[in-house]
Amino acid sequence: MNLAELNSVIKEETSAEEPSVIIASRPCVLLKGRAAISEPVEVDKESCINCGICLNLGCPAISRQGDKAQVTAIQCNGCGLCLQVCNKKALKKRGEGNA
């Protein structure tokens, strides 16, 4: 999912004068039985500044542990949404260079 594109479409359609419908091209990744998209995400604790932006996504895999974000791997299906919002690049797919 391209988060910036989705936000743009929602803003455009909610400000339109006439009624409109937004149709997502794929079902929610959290639906039961959906296969993982890719490797789960991990948090680079050195890079995380605890800004909380990733927590605001509402993904159940992301929580706060002390003063850092954390991702519970078993709940993460690798959708990549959180990677698009972390300005510090503290979130990475497993095996792509995190501690």
52/97 with CB nearer ligand SF4: 52
How far is CA 92 from each of CA 16, 32, 42, 43, 86, rounded to the nearest angstrom? Answer: 37, 24, 6, 7, 10
19/66 with CB nearer ligand SF4: 66
How far is CA 89 from each of CA 35, 52, 70, rounded to the nearest angstrom? Answer: 25, 13, 14
Site string for ligand SF4, 67-86 (x = CB under 6 A): --x-x----xxxxxxx--xx
* Shortest distance in whole angstroms from residue 95 CB to ligand SF4: 14
> Which structure tokens are listed for 38?
């890719």
Site for ligand SF4 in 17-76 (CB under 6 A): 41, 43, 48-54, 57, 59, 61-62, 69, 71, 76
